[in-house]
A and B are shown apart, each in its own frame.
Chain A
């Protein structure tokens, strides 16, 4: 059991670096805000599949807080927390039902993440106009979720043989 703490630290660092790399990808040239690739979610998916759910949640929180303080702002952390927690709930719900693989988890997580961020924006901006972004974010959440899920599935199939 004591082996998991260094492993969790490693995963937090990995998720953190993936978040950092994402800040270099100029996805904003698409012209639609809120579209994220969500590479750090790959780590969370593998953590959910391999570790205890509570450990995976700790990794998620640690990554959001660290990344938020390092290259984000407090308000960006609010959006990241909302999206991250909602996506985590969606993913563990699917993990409990049988018949879903890493790809399904990742797609659900991606969509839930975007919905969480829109909900926070609804409260911050106090106008429902932002719902205009919902269809685009659902589609991009699905596409990037599927891509991340495939990466996670490949990594998980190698990693699950260890330990």
Chain B
């Protein structure tokens, strides 16, 4: 009778959880500066930048697709959207440097960045 789990399996599980947790804690520990801004990109192009601490509602309209982004008291969330899966609307509100809300069907990315912050950016 073979056992259901082996040492190598446990190694993978522990290593993956470890790497995941380390990355997660790293992201959570990144500071959010007072001049942080909310950057909205559509299809790879930055279409709107707002201060994280402004109170604005921005509607991003692209043909028949739209997303309504609400920035309020340093918290950003997507209030309404035209996408079918509504994942962006159900997403937890973001408030920290590096956090992101993505609407894949509408190719929309809402992210928070410190101004002149050192973001690990990849040039694609």
Contact = CB atoms under 8 A, between A and B. Distances in A.
Interface of A: 28-29, 31-33, 73, 75, 79, 97, 99-104, 107-108, 111, 121-136, 138-139, 141-143, 146, 149-150, 153-154, 157
A124 B16 contact: no
22 contacts: A28-B90, A31-B90, A33-B91, A99-B6, A99-B7, A101-B9, A107-B12, A111-B16, A122-B122, A125-B44, A127-B111, A128-B122, A130-B100, A131-B122, A132-B98, A132-B100, A133-B102, A138-B16, A142-B16, A142-B17, A149-B9, A154-B4
A23 B17 CA distance: 26
B91 A31 contact: yes
B120 A129 contact: no
Interface string B103-118: 0110101010000000
Nearest to B92: A31
B13 A107 contact: yes
A102 B91 CA distance: 33
Interface stretch (B19-27, B48-56, B67-75): B19-27
Nearest to B105: A75
Contact of B44 (A97, A126, A157): A126
Nearest to B28: A135
A108 B22 CA distance: 18
Contacts of A73: 105
The interface residues of chain A, by DSSP majority, are classed as helix
Interface residues of B, number: 44
A30 B56 CA distance: 26
Contact of B27 (A100, A132, A150): A132
A14 B60 CA distance: 41
Given A28-B85, A32-B91, A32-B92, A100 B8 contact: yes
B13 A125 contact: no
Given A134-B23, A142-B16, A127 B44 contact: yes
Interface string B18-60: 0111111011000000000000010110000000000000000
Contacts of B12: 100, 104, 107-108, 142
Nearest to A79: B104
B102 A33 contact: yes
B16 A33 contact: no
Contacts of B124: 122-123, 126, 128
Most chain B CB neighbours (cut-off 10 Å) among A131, A141, A153 = A131
Contacts of B61: none
Contacts of A100: 6, 8-9, 12
